[in-house]
Structure 1
Amino acid sequence: MGSNDFVTLFFLVAAVLIFLQLRSVLGRRTGNEKPPFEPYGSRDASQVPGTDDGKLVTLPRRDEGGDDRFSAIDSFAKPGTSLNSSLRDLVAVDPSFNPKEFLNGARLAYEMIVTAFAEGDRKTLKNLLSRDVYEGFDGAISERESRGEMMKSTFVGIEKAEIKQVSVKDSEEQVTVRVVCQLITATFGKDGKLIDGDPEAVSEVNDIWTFARDIRSRDPNWKLVATESEQ
């Protein structure tokens, strides 16, 4: 076998191994899935979004059959509570929803969005936000740019993330999450002088974000549809 044939064979084997690894992580579609229950998209969501540069975030969901899906709900939220009841209602129309997996995806999406906003990364934001929310973020970035300001932000970590409310209206499911995180944020003017924040101090941020997706859509991604800061 010539050297060129060996190189070709090497890359072919590597490609097959990479494909198998990705399939084991991301899963695969068989063509038999129920359209409404394919993942995220968040309501807009889950970078799921397919970003051209791969910055998509799928709020993970796993098919759970029979009573197992409700067992996952009961282990997440105490039976008899309003949250448990609303989660059961959601799973009744979307059996693939798993609260723990969703929350893990929401944490990832939160970090990506906060980081993208600070960097003015509109491409990433567009794939993670609903149209209305994106317009608000885009407007804030444009104002910052028009003044020649620069925001520097370091994401320290998320202290707490919890599902506060769940609802299903018509074909849209919504999940509201409370996030408590630590950030280092500072904004500098075009002359380089600090005008807001502190480049060395860690601050606590409390946000309440709502993610949503169309249950009828084959898109598994969720999107951020509403934000507010908790005082």
Structure 2
Amino acid sequence: MSVELVIFAVIAVVVLFQLYNVLGRRVGFKVEDKPAPRVSEDSDGPVRVEKKPEAPKFPNLEALKARDPQFNEINFIEKARETYEGVVVAFTKGDVQPVKDRLADNVYNVFSKAVQNRDPSAPKETVSFVDAPKADMELIEFKDDFAQIRVRFLSELLYQTEAPKPSESALPETDATPIDVKKTHKRTAEYWTFQKNLKSGTNPWLLAKVEAAKA
């Protein structure tokens, strides 16, 4: 065997040995080991921008909690929704006395007068909620010793009207008289403003104003 062949054989063995050492190892990195990409100041790549803290939606919320430490916005919305449902049902039924303790005097007087002015011979009407009303706190204000919170209610109502079916008979109506039932769906949006006298933490939140809103 020539000297040149021996030299080439030795070189081949050395190369194969080094190649085996490289392929036999785990090289590179897994996804979880991958370092975060570095962005130099002179790079044209994406620049990470620090997110600025959002301004509070209700600037007066902390002020309200300072004056009324027991106030909790989640509990307030739940109670406001209960009041909304109760007042709507009572007003439609024609008896607002059961919800008088939830209404400011001016609102109770308006509702009570509206009920009294209804035509006694008008068809009987009831209302129910298709789903729980959506309630969102919109505004917090202070007027002297009173705090006022405006809540936007969005609801879908099912009105059911019952009236005797027309009859050619001149006999008076009885329990056996056929009843004509008409059902109507109505989507409504309103602003209800609740107020509380902050002189005492035990004072209740009362409905002080009702306004129409865009559905």
TM-score by length of 2: 0.61
Asked whether 1:161 is paired with 2:135, we answer yes
Q: Distance in 1 between matches of 2:84 and 2:103?
A: 11
Q: Residue by residue, what CA displacement relative to the aligned partner does 1:21-44 show, whole Å, maximum 9, x if unpaired?
A: xxxxxxxxxxxxxxxxxxxxxxxx
Q: Distance in 1 between matches of 2:107 and 2:162?
A: 25
Asked whether 1:222 is paired with 2:205, we answer yes
2:136 alignment partner, SS class: strand
Q: Which residue of 1 aligns with 2:92?
A: 118
Asked whether 1:89 is paired with 2:63, we answer yes
Q: Which residue of 1 aligns with 2:151?
A: 177
1:217 alignment partner, SS class: coil
2:79 alignment partner, SS class: helix
2:184 alignment partner, SS class: coil
- The AA in structure 2 aligned to 1:103 is I
Give ranges in structure 1 of 5+ residues lacking alignment: 1-77
Q: Number of matched residues? A: 148
- Structure with the greater alpha carbon radius of gyration: 2
Superposed structure 1 runs of 4+ greater than 6 Å apart:
none
1:125 alignment partner, SS class: helix
What percent identity do the matched residue pairs reach?
A: 28
| Structure of greater relative contact order (alpha carbons < 8 Å, 6+ residues apart) | 1
Q: Which residue of 1 aligns with 2:109?
A: 135
- The AA in structure 2 aligned to 1:80 is A
Distance 1:215 1:163, change over 3 A: same
| 91, 100, 103: which one aligns with 2:74 | 100
| 195, 200, 206: which one aligns with 1:212 | 195
2:59 alignment partner, SS class: helix
Q: Which residue of 1 aligns with 2:55?
A: 80
Q: Are the counterparts in 2 of residues 79 and 85 from structure 1 also a CA contact under 8 Å?
A: no
- The AA in structure 2 aligned to 1:184 is L
**Over the residues paired in the alignment, what is the CA RMSD in angstroms?**
2.3
Per the TM alignment, residue 229 of structure 1 is displaced from its structure 2 partner at its CA by: 1.5
TM-score by length of 1: 0.57
Distance 1:143 1:186, change over 3 A: farther
1:7-156 alignment, distance < 5 Å: 79-81=54-56, 83-156=57-130
Q: Are the counterparts in 2 of residues 158 and 179 from structure 1 also a CA contact under 8 Å?
A: no
Distance 1:99 1:192, change over 3 A: farther
Give ranges in structure 2 of 5+ residues lacking alignment: 1-52, 167-180
1:202 alignment partner, SS class: strand
Per the TM alignment, residue 204 of structure 1 is displaced from its structure 2 partner at its CA by: 1.1
Q: Distance in 1 between matches of 2:201 and 2:213?
A: 33
Per the TM alignment, residue 151 of structure 1 is displaced from its structure 2 partner at its CA by: 2.1
Per the TM alignment, residue 125 of structure 1 is displaced from its structure 2 partner at its CA by: 2.8
